[in-house]
A and B are shown apart, each in its own frame.
Chain A
Amino acid sequence: MTAADARAVIELDRVDRYFGAHPAVLDLSFRVMEGEIVALLGRTGAGKSTALHMIMGVLEPTRGTVRVEGLDPYAQFKALRGKLAVSFQNDRLLPWRAAWENVALGLEILGFDRETQRDRAIQWLENVKIVGEENVRKYPHELSGGMRQRVSLARALCVDPELVLLDESFSQLDHVTSKALRTDFTELVRRLGKTCVLITHRIDDALEMADRILVLAAPAKLALEVRVTPALRSDSDWLEAQHAAIAAAMGGEDEGEAA
């Protein structure tokens, strides 16, 4: 697909969101094109999650317009059924459902029969490297943190959404697990051609995964935009320079970033 063919999956146009008198998002505008992986990067309180909640359609903007697949995600909430999926910072697995049943949650809501749910859920668990009848039947408390997050990602991807939203999905995992999961996820999303918005406060995560990085400074205003290509990603000097520029735009690195 060429850049000219690509259509905008997400469009935010001069969006403000206030909580009382406090602005969480101010005059935020950006577009995310089909098949793109975009990172929304910012310090805690920069308004990233508020922006994400507006894209999800669970929060209404105070001013401006949000469009997902050309639809207003808040006013036309049900119209986006099956078109977007979210994976959160904590896995948020339903404790009473086995791993495969958690993955099948979206399919069940979309009305797929039980057999299809199970087949597709197990296939997706394999895609995220959870294999074996014993593992797919395990309840969340029987899985490790990394496995639970993999189940959470499989649950998001299982409904075959146009748009995948990741809200700090890798930030609670240890460095090694997080790295492995990021690599697997990025490969999978690129292979499937999914559009993906990644919310993170970690500069390295954004540089590693995203095609484009939108740096937000509190309240969520676009402070910097960085395009990343595979060639640039392997250029350590460029990465170092961008890391410094992004950190400056964010107003300094967030806690834990150095780790």
Chain B
Amino acid sequence: MSTRIDPETAAGLEPPAPAGAERNYFKRDLFASIVIIALIAFAMEAWSWVAPVYIMPSVVLTGDEILTILGEDYIHIVTTILRLLFAVAFSLVTGSLIGVIMGIVRPAEPFIKALVVIFTGVPALSWMLFAIFWFRGTEERVFFILAVILIPFYALNVYDGIKALSTDLVEVVETFRPSRWQVFRLLILPHIVPYILMTTKSIIGYAARMTAFAELVSVNTGMGARMGLAQDELNMQGVIGWTILLVIVNLGVQAIVAWAEKRLLKWRPEVSVR
């Protein structure tokens, strides 16, 4: 493998792909996704011809169920999305702050780092059970489970980001004699934004699944809880319908993160390796 270096460009890196090429990639990916969705739908439909409805309902039946959910149970979708977004936003701020403190307050670093690493070792299921014992309110339970699982991801990645901060950049900012707040605002914060976005991108799918799982075991509202109810009633089209909606929510949130990444990191060069 060799890295292509273009001497014509300023930084010795390939220029970003032109907008036309990006559109072509999008069309290609969209086409591939449609093909895969069609194949899955066909497989489900074919299976439904030979299996009872509680094993695999037909595509039409599942579609009807989704329409019913969207018409009558949409509040559970909204509840799950709000729980997910609020918990992710809180974890992002809190985890990033912990990461910054770990990165810049030397005496606190080993202690906070040890705590965060230990927390990451606790299984998600244990946190769910702790939440049921410790909190009476359903919202508190879901929020606690998500926050305690997600915060360490942000803390560790932001900490790694601060450790990767170039001493050259620190030195150049310090030549102007800034205050500590200015160093944070002008140097540290913009530097850790890619790490925060990368973490969000990595954990958002996991967080969506954890939200549904937490709802399933600890509360009676939200998409996870409704999936549990559908399972109790042997309503397979309900389980599949909620699953499809969860996937759509997941993809929607990931699209928002990807959009935010594109907007906030437009200063980053696109590098291609061949």
Contact = CB atoms under 8 A, between A and B. Distances in A.
A94 interface: yes
A159 B177 CA distance: 12
Given A88-B168, A90-B168, A56 B175 contact: yes
Interface in A228-242: none
A176 to B, nearest CB: 15
A139 B269 CA distance: 9
A142 B9 CA distance: 8
A76 to B, nearest CB: 10
Interface stretch (A113-121, A144-152, A180-188, A250-258): A144-152
A106 interface: yes
Interface string A62-93: 00000000000000011011101110101010
A81 B171 contact: no
Contacts of B191: 96
Using C-beta atoms within 8 Å of the partner chain, give the interface range for chain B.
20 to 34
B177 A78 contact: yes
Contacts, number: 69
B186 A109 contact: yes
Contacts of B177: 77-78, 80-82, 109
Contacts of A144: 10
A95 B267 contact: yes
What is the interface of chain A mostly: helix, strand, loop, or mixed?
mixed
Interface string B261-274: 00000111100000
A248 interface: no
Interface string A118-140: 00000000000000000000011
Contact of A110 (B172, B176, B187, B266): B176
Q: Range of interface residues on chain A?
A: 20 to 34
A159 B172 CA distance: 14
Contacts of A33: none
Interface in B173-228: 173-178, 182, 186-187, 190-191, 193
Contact of A142 (B10, B169, B174, B182): B10
Contacts of A148: 10
Nearest to B168: A92
B174 A58 contact: yes
Contacts of B267: 95-98, 139, 141
B13 interface: yes
A105 B186 contact: yes
Interface of B: 10-11, 13, 168-169, 171-178, 182, 186-187, 190-191, 193, 266-269
22 contacts: A77-B177, A80-B177, A84-B175, A85-B176, A86-B175, A90-B168, A94-B169, A94-B186, A94-B187, A94-B190, A96-B193, A96-B267, A97-B267, A98-B267, A105-B173, A105-B186, A109-B176, A110-B176, A139-B266, A143-B10, A145-B10, A148-B10
Given A86-B172, A95-B267, A143-B10, 15 more contacts: A58-B174, A80-B177, A94-B187, A94-B190, A96-B193, A98-B267, A105-B176, A109-B176, A109-B178, A109-B182, A110-B176, A139-B266, A140-B11, A147-B10, A148-B10
